[in-house]
Amino acid sequence: MCGCVGKSGGGWAHYVGQEKLRPQTGWLPVAFALDWGRPPRHMNSTSAWYAHADQWRYETLTAGEILSPTAPAGDWDIGLIDYNIRAERMGWLPSAPQLKTNPLEVAKAAKNAGMEVAPYVAEQLKSGALEMSCEDPDAPENWPRNLFVWRSNLLGSSGKGHEYFLKHLLGTDNG
């Protein structure tokens, strides 16, 4: 018995870490607003933890050090977190939270301005009146509010950079 679900060599629980999230069926439509639009865009966990556990503060590598020799000339010596910020601003990398301002307040402001939400947000981002939360992940309004961990000991042993999690995510004095 290997839990292969009718498929030799694969399926549910065949390899450690490959289990499917069975209860997901119940909460997925509600959690990811599948009645509004599909597919949902999820933030990758590597970027989330890199930002919210402040691992970027300890990064000693710049993009210029790993740059392809065939890359065009330019200012490549910025931090790797800056590329995440660029990707989020351009809509390439889903993130949460997205904005420093509550989205419900943004929608109200757009309505009061007599505009649709999308053009209002674009205008406000361009003017600097509305800011992305990724630009300041340490601000209290930008801290993660929900965390769902499935079959893991994230804060005990599974998080890569355990001390960063303790110090920056939980606020302990040291790891």
Query: Cβ(57)–Cβ(163) under 8 Å?
Result: no
Which of the two residues, 47 and 3, has the higher pLDDT score? 47
This prediction has a pTM of 0.72
More confident residue, 44 or 126: 126
- Give the pLDDT score at 24: 67
pLDDT value at position 19?
53
C-alpha 30/C-alpha 150 separation (Å) is 17
Lowest-confidence pick of 11-20, 41-50, 54-63, 159-168: 11-20
Per DSSP, helices labelled H in 21-116 are: 24-31, 45-52, 80-89, 103-112
- What was the pLDDT predicted at 30? 79
Q: Which residues, including other chains, have CB under 8 Å from residue 136's CB and lie 6 or more apart?
A: 100, 142
Q: What is the pLDDT of residue 20?
A: 55
95-113 confidence digits (pLDDT tens) = 888 899 999 999 999 999 9
Least confident range of 58-72, 79-93, 125-139, 141-155: 141-155
- Residue 159: per-residue pLDDT: 67
Percentage of the chain lying above the pLDDT 70 cut = 82
Please indicate whether residue 84 or residue 5 has the higher confidence score (pLDDT).
Answer: 84
Q: Is 22 exposed, middle or buried (0-12, 13-18, 19+ CB in 10 A)?
A: exposed
pLDDT given at position 4: 47
